[in-house]
Chain A
Amino acid sequence: MNAKQVQKFVLAYLQSTGSRIIEKGPAHVTVKLSPEADRALTNRPYYWSFVDRTGAEPETMTFRWNFEPPDPSSSPAAPPPIVANGARIIQDDVYFGSRRLGQIFESVGQAGKCVMLFEEPPKGSAGPLGSQPYTAWLGVNFKATYECDMKREELYGMGISLATGVIDEQFLQRLKDIRLTPRLPSNVHLLRNGLSLRRAMTQLEHAVERKLKSADFGWAEEADERRRDELARVEQYYEPMIERAATAEQAEALKARYGRRREEIDWQYRPRVTLSVINCGIFHLPGID
């Protein structure tokens, strides 16, 4: 993300959380956070539990966020807070890699987890008498993590029709091109689901798995080679020592240490893939598929 993208992202975040922008410039924004954003970003659990228990009117914090990429020669110390109209305004550099943006990323991860949406029907598509059929889709965004002593990731945004079980591998892209609304549009009827949610999920997972299986496993073979190499190295070190050990206790101690080294190597090098769900939702889209 470059500075412009970060700025756009942060402004969008402020808008979706209902925060109040006091003023903004080409590369900064001064904002009074909404309670939702304040809870997520200011790390004041005690204050918020106080507000929740007493029902007091919450006083949220005000920030001035600078989006200029920081100057490498300047000291990274935070600039002092500004006091304007009696309110403390805390200054922050927000750039890709900054703690603040990291927090915002985490916050959207929590706040954008599960959705239920309907496509807005095109205007005049159905007369007052006709009703349009809508199909429910389960859309899931997956992250596949390939891991050994190194790591790589891939993202998939797939969907499955709950009516027919048809899988759309470009589902996320499809969603980005249409208008969605949280309310059920009028003159729309929902088709009966042929598939339970769980079965649909399982089928999606199987589809991803098939994709993963067809990938190149060279990386895993190399990692396993490294693993066996490392194991051989500790083996030629410990085995003779254990054999030569003077006492049984010594041999035991060596064996324990040998076992620990082997575990560490396995932990570090064994190739593995983790498939995790980033977020998911139910999408009602027109059509019978």
Chain B
Amino acid sequence: MRNDPMQQLAQTDAPELSAEADFTTATTLPASEPLPPAPEPDAAGKPAVPPARKLHPLVELYIDRSPFEELERRIERNGPWDDWSLYLMALEAEEALKISDFHELQCLRLLPHLTPLPHQLETARRVLYEMRGRAILADEVGLGKTIEAGLVLKEYLVRGLVKRVLILVPASLVLQWVRELSGKFGIPAVAQKKAHTWSSDIVVASMDTAKREPHRSFLLDGEYDMLIIDEAHKLKNKKTGNYQFVGDLRKKYCLLLTATPVQNDLSELYNLITLLKPGQLGGEGDFAANFVEGRRVAKNEDRLQAALGQVMIRNRRSDGSLEFTRRMVTNVPLRLSPEEQELYDGVTAFVRERAQADRGDMASMLSLVTLQREVCSSRDAVFLTLINLSKKVAPESPLHAQIWELVNRIRNIKANTKAEKTMEIIEEIQDKVIVFTEYRATQDYLIRFFKERGLSAVPYRGGMNRGKKDWMMDLFRRRAQVMVATEAGGEGINLQFCHHIVNFDLPWNPMRVEQRIGRVHRLGQTEDVSIFNLCTAGTIEEHIVHLLHEKINMFEMVIGELGEILERVEKEETLERKLAKLVLESANAGELRERIDNLGDSMLEARRQVEREKPQ
């Protein structure tokens, strides 16, 4: 009778051992060594264990039996033995995570926080099952390309088909991507900061960093289960370093994200698709012969569309299910009080005089225009700037006296016409309102002003840290009727529960105006959004509102269109600078109005161009 199970099991007879040729790794390890990690097949699908045999003419079978090898070692050493309930739980976990079907979307049951929109889900499905994980996501701006990419990535991660991921985006979007992947998808992405970050499984980096040495060589030596590139239209030119670099990367699945797949030339689209799937549109010559009529004109449209449809998805706002609610824009004309008007006139005169003197020094000229804009916002805003300005000039100079004369005019102002009007609007609305201003000082003033009148208002600004921002948003949702915000950009501000916006003053960069509105007017907003633009008569503000609202009607433009228009208009100089120059160079209000109208016309022309060139 042999009653020692260990002893008995440990007697593995040698001849048998060598007969089973596959068992080599474990037996060569001395028993005292720490256990090697289980050589699980990596996600790249290249099992660590050498192939054993064919299951089918097309299919090889790989075997990973590391827990069994561990069992042998434990028998040899007489334990230790694991707990039976943990053994069963390990199985239960595997059972729960098992992917029982090739096709059913797995990621959603792991993302209870997330409710993607129907077009986002459909896009993810098509990328996964029809396009086999290589696609151009070309939705119009604001429809959630990032969500679609996140869904595809999550699905591959959950299925264990992807482990190593490289995400290349413009530098300004790196942190936003990291936050969104982690917050919405529970994907632990790392922002590339130091060289060793590259060894993390999921890295988000800027294209500019990635393509530079020493990073470049490192990345080209690696293999990526998935490559995602945001703003991929920047890869349209195949002669650029970026294009070559992306072409040289080794990747399995690949997503290119762009809202504007074609800007100037059909060959740009061809280059983009060639990066993804060389040959999809034939060889270079074939493409020109088969599909190109003129630079921007395609021929054999149907065939081209069919070929494109296999690699590119473009959801449009006009596709029906993506209806946005309406925007209702009201201009609220105001007349400054005599004291405020006096200050405005004083500052305007001062600005003109200084502009003559500073001619050529663009930076100081721009700051002068800011002064004028600030008067239209609040005395608090202009006060600070004047004080700072006075510190920069010698106390005995006439300039110093001039500045202080303006500061004294501020003292005469007892009320803020705009703030009072805003109060009226808010009382009329009797609902949540977000008030945007460009200036910190105005923001502080407004919060005080509202508080004195028994209205609870919370601030929101760019300088706040993440936690504080979340807290302010939460306060606004639950408690306060009003939020006064200086920052419109930045992800994570979702204010769909509010549908009234007051533009206390307007940025001169239309994209920033659009961002403000976009915080509220986005997918998920169920109400029509009302927008109030406060506009002081007889000031530069009036001109700006005229340009943005009456002339180009930007408030009612299709989201995304504005970006394309600005890209064309702002070739050499930003709109903001153009406007500042016009303001300083015009002799009088009439001339200014005329020149701003011309600028508006060129924007309208750009808009018509954009519409003509829309790929259908």
- What is the interface of chain A, defined by CB distance below 8 A to chain B? 1, 5, 9, 12-13, 15-16, 69-70, 72, 74-77, 95-99, 104-105, 108-109, 111-117, 131, 136, 140-141, 143, 145-147, 149-155, 157, 162, 172, 176, 180, 182, 184, 189-190, 192-193, 196-199, 201-202, 205, 209, 212-213, 217, 219-221, 224, 226, 233-238, 240-241, 257, 260-261, 263-264, 267-282, 284
Contacts and interface: CB of A to CB of B under 8 A. Distances in A.
Contacts of A96: 96, 109-110, 112
B185 to A, nearest CB: 10
Tell me the interface secondary structure of chain A in the complex. Answer: mixed
Contacts of B93: 9, 104-105, 108-109
B94 interface: yes
B96 A1 contact: yes
B58 A220 contact: yes
A238 B248 CA distance: 15
A233 B251 contact: no
A9 B92 contact: yes
B89 A212 contact: no
Given A16-B86, A267-B44, A209 B61 contact: yes
9 contacts: A9-B89, A97-B112, A108-B90, A117-B81, A172-B91, A196-B12, A197-B12, A237-B274, A272-B47
Contacts of B94: 109, 141, 143, 155, 278
Interface pairs A-B: 4 shortest CB-CB: A97-B110, A237-B279, A112-B86, A112-B90
B71 A114 contact: yes
B213 interface: no
Interface in B248-291: 248, 250-253, 274, 277-280, 282-284
Contacts of A192: 2, 8
Interface string B1-43: 1110100110111001100101100000000000000001100
Given A115-B82, A212-B55, A257-B247, A275 B8 contact: no
B28 to A, nearest CB: 15
A73 B12 CA distance: 60
A95 B57 CA distance: 42
A63 B46 CA distance: 39
Residue of B13, B53, B61, B99 with most chain A CB atoms under a 10 A cut-off: B61
Contact of B159 (A105, A143, A151): A151
Interface stretch (B62-70, B388-396, B508-516): B62-70
Contacts of A162: 9
Contacts of A282: 5, 9, 71, 75
B47 A264 contact: no
Nearest to B92: A9
Nearest to B71: A114
B115 interface: yes
Nearest to B5: A190
Given A198-B23, A275-B61, A136 B9 contact: yes
Residue of A209, A237, A263 with most chain B CB atoms under a 10 A cut-off: A237
Interface stretch (B100-108, B117-125, B570-578): B100-108
Residue of A108, A278, A282 with most chain B CB atoms under a 10 A cut-off: A108
B112 A70 contact: yes
Contacts of B114: 72
A276 B71 CA distance: 14
Given A151-B160, A152-B101, A280-B68, 12 more contacts: A104-B93, A105-B93, A113-B67, A114-B74, A141-B94, A152-B102, A196-B17, A198-B12, A202-B22, A220-B59, A272-B59, A277-B66
